[in-house]
Chain A
Amino acid sequence: MNPFLLSAPALALFGVMLVVPLIMTFILSFHSFGFYTGIEFTFGLHNYIDVLTDDYFYEIFGRTFAIALAVTVICVIIGTPMAFFLQRMRAWTRSIMVLIVLGPLLVSVVVRTLGWMILLGNNGVINSALMDMGLLTSPFRMMYTSGGIVVALAHVMVPFMVLAVWAALQRQDPATIAAAESLGARRSTIFRRVVLPQAMPGILSGSLIVFSLSASSFATPSLIGGRRVKVVATTVYDEFLNTLNWPLGAAIAIILLVAVLVIMVTWNRVVERQFAGVFQ
């Protein structure tokens, strides 16, 4: 049967419900907005100029990508070893650990962020515990900070990293480890020269997923960052649902979309060049 006929229903849905809305948002971003007149159907680059000439927006974009980068680094540092250990566990411990590591992915981000709010607040679990132990005299502020957002986002994102690395590890032929051992390699050498390089594609693709999801995350920065620590997604939300300046919000969103796509494409290019011939 014709593949396009089989795909036609889904294709129609995507055409109407994805392609058209995205194009409309793109067009919207060129319109202007009046406080009393609402959306004016003019056509110009003024929204983009407004965003690109205002330090306020640079700060927001800068913060967003800095947070995403920090989350990615943390996920690499803690997610990669977890995937290695997972790979080497015995079957039943592994199945329990899989539930613990991957299960939270199925719990709503709102609920998980609520948990972090309870942990990170000035009167929260962590501060109370540290003060009870006498390690802190006054609470260490973690709510409404970028640091707090990073920690909570790392929790949300790290399962993706573990999954990506673990998938790469499962594609490895375990005999390569035995081969390295028979050639005289020590455990640390085997890890550094045989296991880690083979896991590298997983680490790189996991990093890309974590980075792009973090850069466009909304719920966690919104609840932990509050009104003060804004990121791109929360700014777009405010423009749409509070200020009602939809064209400006659309322009910010389009810039985010383009930035994320550019980073993805560049990253994939670099990775492909790096591993040409190795992992097809």
Chain B
Amino acid sequence: MKNGAFAHIFTVLFAVFMLAPIGVVVAVSFTAEGFLEFPPSTLSLRWYWAILDNPDFIDAFIVSLKLGFVSALLATVLTVPAGLAIGRGRFRGRDALQALFLSPLTVPTVVLGISFLRFLSLFGMNGTFIGLAVCHAVIIIPFVLRLVLASVTGMDPSIEKASVSLGASPWTVFRRVTLPAITPGVVGGFVLAFITSFDELTVSIFIVNPSTTTLPVRLFSHIAQTTDPLVASVSTVAILFTVVVMLIVDRLYGLDRLLIGEGKR
């Protein structure tokens, strides 16, 4: 079936709805005035230069980058073996294990946030980068697991048997057969985990201190006080960063596949 006129109009309106809030942030960031105006009467890069005078935002951006990288790496390294076990085996407790690793998706993030706060503060770890990274790893493991699982279950199990029959050792099988077969899922999982960590607010806001404040937390605190063109320009930089990552992912893996979490169709 083809789409009719109603479908075309609906699609355009939907696209406007999806893009409007993002577009408007980008638009107002180019104002020359000291307040938010839309559309900007005169265009300037004034508020982009202003970012350089606010090292808070730059520091937060760097923290978020480091945090995203470290927590995504940690999550991926821990999840790949678990994903292989869950994706392949039929063993007692398999469903329970999978449910446990996916559970951070079900628990409200605010509950996770206060629980991490309570836990870390008892050990004096609150506000540390390592504490933040470990908590982020817990939240993003479900995203990695879903993509790794999709790759593992989409993999022909006999290719491993085939390589064993050709004389490969278990480590060789993993390195030369299994890992290449699930690489798309692992890479996709890493990227999705990185972005999720990079954007995370609700957990972070409970467990950061001034030196480990992430970009979303910094933006949130700023916006809660005042909305000025500075947050718009910082947001635009963040959007640009996301768009670049997104286009790379879409080219490599397919955005829909990444987000649906299905390896094979």
Question: Which residues of A pack against B, CB within 8 Å?
Answer: 1, 3-4, 6-7, 9-11, 13-14, 17-18, 20-22, 24-25, 28, 78, 81-82, 85, 88-89, 95, 97-119, 124-125, 128, 152, 155, 158-159, 163, 166-167, 170, 177, 187, 190, 212, 215-216, 218-219, 222-223, 232-233, 236-237, 240-241, 246, 249-250, 253-254, 256-257, 260-261, 264
CB distance from B251 to the nearest CB of A (A): 11
Across the interface, do B137 and A102 meet the contact criterion of CB distance under 8 Å?
A: no
**CB <8 Å contact, B138 and A103:** no
**B side interface size, CB within 8 A:** 87
Contacts of A82 in B (CB 8 A): 10-11, 14
Q: Quick one: which of A6, A107, A128 contacts B199, CB cutoff 8 A? A: A107
Which residues of chain B come closer than 8 Å to A20, judged between CB atoms? 119
Chain B residues at the A interface, C-beta cutoff of 8 Å: 1-3, 7, 10-11, 14-15, 17-25, 28, 36, 38, 77-79, 81-82, 84-86, 89, 91, 93-94, 97, 100-101, 103-104, 106-112, 114-119, 122, 134-135, 137-138, 141, 170, 195, 198-199, 201-202, 205-206, 215-216, 219-220, 223-224, 227, 231-232, 235, 238-239, 242-243, 245-246, 250, 255-256, 259-260, 262, 265
Complex alpha-carbon distance, A114 and B23, angstroms: 11
Q: Which residues of B contact A170 (CB under 8 A)?
A: 265
Q: Is the CB of B262 within 8 A of A167?
A: yes
> Would A218 and B110 be within 8 Å (CB), given that A3-B89, A119-B24, A223-B220 are in contact?
yes
Closest residue of A by beta carbon distance from B20: A119
Q: Which residues of B contact A112 (CB under 8 A)?
A: 21-22
User: Can you report 13 residue pairs joining A to B where beta carbons are below 8 Å apart?
Assistant: A85-B7, A101-B18, A104-B22, A108-B219, A112-B22, A114-B223, A118-B227, A170-B265, A216-B109, A222-B224, A236-B114, A246-B114, A256-B111
Chain B residues contacting A11 (CB-CB under 8 Å) are 82, 97, 100
